[in-house]
């Protein structure tokens, strides 16, 4: 790791950032352009939250490379926003959402699941060929707190393992 006190280029770049650039760097995910976990934590509280996790990302990365996984993560972020969710990129393939009610979050996340499942998307495979992925899936959990949403997500994942 580069010692920040001796990394003069980074120090200069940070010193030249405007307040808006600094805010964006602190509160927005570079990978998805969604607000990040810090923005989620610092934002207005909501009665319900959801936690979601893309299924099969490791297998996709292993088969097609990390670029394909990044395409899927970006696509997932766009789908969450397209259905009207107040979505945040936590880390990796994990996303958080805020909502006013359980039915609202459940309906919008189910709609996002349908879209992600049924819309193919192209990726560049490791051999350089463009390959169409038929769709993707994700699990989600909803609760009145992140801890409750995480327990619900874990339960959903366990149910999917049993179904397979």
Each residue of 10-22: pLDDT tens digit?
Answer: 556 555 656 556 5
Q: Tell me the whole-structure pTM to 2 decimals.
A: 0.83
Structural domain including 124 reads: 33-163
Q: What CATH number does the domain containing 151 carry?
A: 3.30.70.270
pLDDT digits 0-9 by tens, 99-125: 999 999 999 999 999 999 999 999 988
The H or E element that residue 137 is part of is none
For 11-54, the three-class secondary structure string (H helix, E strand, C coil) is HHHHHHCCHHHHHHHHHECCCCCCEEHHHHHHCCCCCEEEEEEE
Give domain status of residue 3, yes or no: no
Residue 13 maps to a domain: no
3 Rama class: left (phi>0) / alpha (psi -120 to 50) / beta = beta
Q: What is the pLDDT of residue 125?
A: 85
CA neighbours closer than 13 Å in the CB half-sphere of residue 130: 3
Residue 95 lies in a domain: yes
């Amino acid at each position: 790791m580069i010692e920040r006190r001796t990394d003069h280029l980074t120090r200069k770049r940070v010193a030249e950032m405007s307040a808006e650039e600094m805010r964006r760097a602190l509160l927005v995910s570079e990978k998805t352009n969604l607000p990040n976990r810090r923005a989620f934590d610092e934002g207005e509280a909501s009665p319900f939250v959801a936690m979601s996790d893309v299924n099969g990302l490791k297998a996709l990365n292993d088969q097609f490379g990390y670029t394909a996984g990044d395409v899927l993560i970006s696509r997932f972020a766009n789908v969450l926003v397209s259905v009207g969710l107040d979505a945040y990129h936590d880390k990796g393939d994990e996303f958080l959402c805020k909502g006013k009610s359980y039915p609202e979050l459940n309906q919008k996340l189910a709609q996002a699941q349908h879209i992600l499942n049924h819309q193919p998307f192209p990726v560049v495979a490791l051999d350089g060929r463009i390959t169409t992925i038929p769709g993707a899936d994700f699990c989600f959990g909803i609760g009145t707190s992140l801890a409750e949403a995480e327990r619900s997500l874990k339960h959903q994942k366990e149910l999917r393992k049993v179904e397979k």
